[in-house]
Amino acid sequence: MDSRRDTRRIVWLVALFWTAPAQATPATTRAVWQSAGACMDADELQEGVERRLGRRVFSAVADLVLRGNVSFQDGKAHAELELRTADTRLGRRGTLVGSRDLDMDGEDCRVLDESLLLVTSIMIDVPREELPPPPPPEAPPVSAEKPRAVPPLGTPLRLPPRSEVKVPAPARSWAYGVFLDGASSVGALPLGSVGADLGLRLEPRGFWPIEFSGVYDHAFASADAGELHIDSLMWGLGLCPFDFGLELCVGQRVGAVWARGAGLENNRSRRRIRGEITVGLRWSPSLGSHHLVLGLEGLVPLVQDRYLYQRGDEQVELFQVAPVGARLSLGFRLGL
């Protein structure tokens, strides 16, 4: 009787352990992480997630691939997370398990740290048995062409007509454009001046855009009975080394200015040299191959003329060129 009782106990224990459900095996993850500036990097993410889950999660060879990108712009932190199964076949991406986008306002992208750790921990805490199956292999393409019949012996061989190989035109190493705009200056000319710029813009590959321009300005000033009319014509050369949404350009213009008017002082030449150094910002929204151009320049006149008129025995100032000036312009740039 004792042997039978022992046998029953052994059978009962074997059946119990045989039918007990197997414990789920947690999946491992490989992180492909990109972060801008002071945002959370891959090492911080892995350490924080493993601390939350209380186990080793990340590995170079893993069941899952977590791709993340964290950035910060205009006072808003943004993160993109995508979790896929790992696929060892070259050029193939695994099955999508889940994805999340996170946005939060703050002083920097560190406002997302806690949310990133929480969401990532939840996403990758998946049992290996619950992972979706890998995608099926791609079937080789089936040719729709029918096999060609072999001609009998003695049949003349007909060669297909020769097709001309079209060689693509080489890529342009330079881009060209012409621009025309209206402008108004202050400081270098009397207030209320009007002018126009006409020029050529060259954009060599691997170098800054170069601009050649002709600039005409007309201005008028008066005081009491005195009048001053100024006409100016200059040639300019400029470079635009930076483009960060607004284009930064520097340049120099040299030319001549003609002054005339009632009572204008006669003891100085009315045709004088004019020159200036320029630093400006431009906003150029695209209109197809053309651009609308709005520009604001700071000017440093190289010659600071003073214009006087004679009132009896007294000299009255009509206008004097300021040490610095400004120029506002609006026009078009046409691509060629």
The pLDDT of residue 310 is 77
CATH superfamily of 25-130: TolB, N-terminal domain (3.40.50.10070)
**Averaged pLDDT score across all residues of the chain:** 82
- SS3 state of residue 207: coil
**d(Cα 77, Cα 111) in Å, to the nearest integer?**
7
The pLDDT of residue 216 is 97
Q: What percent of the chain has pLDDT over 70?
A: 78
Is residue 171 very low, low, confident or very high in pLDDT (cuts 50, 70, 90)? low
**d(Cα 85, Cα 53) in Å, to the nearest integer?**
20
The pLDDT of residue 146 is 63
Flag whether pLDDT at 16 surpasses 60. Answer: no
The pLDDT of residue 170 is 59
The pLDDT of residue 38 is 81
In contact, 329 and 295? CB cutoff 8 Å: yes
In this structure, of 34-43, 78-87, 242-251, 260-269, the range with the lowest mean pLDDT score is 260-269
Query: Which one of 3.20.20.70, 1.10.1060.10, 2.160.10.10, 2.40.160.20 gives the CATH number of domain 174-335?
Result: 2.40.160.20
The pLDDT of residue 132 is 78
Render pLDDT for 94-146 as a digit per residue (tens, 0 to 9): 788 889 998 989 888 888 889 988 998 898 888 878 777 766 666 666 655 66
Q: Is 248 exposed, middle or buried (0-12, 13-18, 19+ CB in 10 A)?
A: middle
The pLDDT of residue 107 is 85
Domain residue spans of the chain = 25-130, 174-335
Is residue 260 very low, low, confident or very high in pLDDT (cuts 50, 70, 90)? confident
**HSE (CB half, 13 Å, CA atoms) of 97?**
28
Render pLDDT for 69-104 as a digit per residue (tens, 0 to 9): 998 888 888 999 998 887 766 556 778 888 999 898
Flag whether pLDDT at 305 surpasses 60. Answer: yes
The pLDDT of residue 106 is 85
**Which residue is associated with the tokens 């060599």?**
204
Single-letter code of the amino acid located at 180: L
Query: What is the helix, strand, coil percentage profile of the chain, to 5?
Result: 15, 50, 35
The mean per-residue pLDDT over the stretch 17-22 comes to 44
The pLDDT of residue 15 is 46
The mean per-residue pLDDT over the stretch 148-172 comes to 65
Flag whether pLDDT at 286 surpasses 90. Answer: no
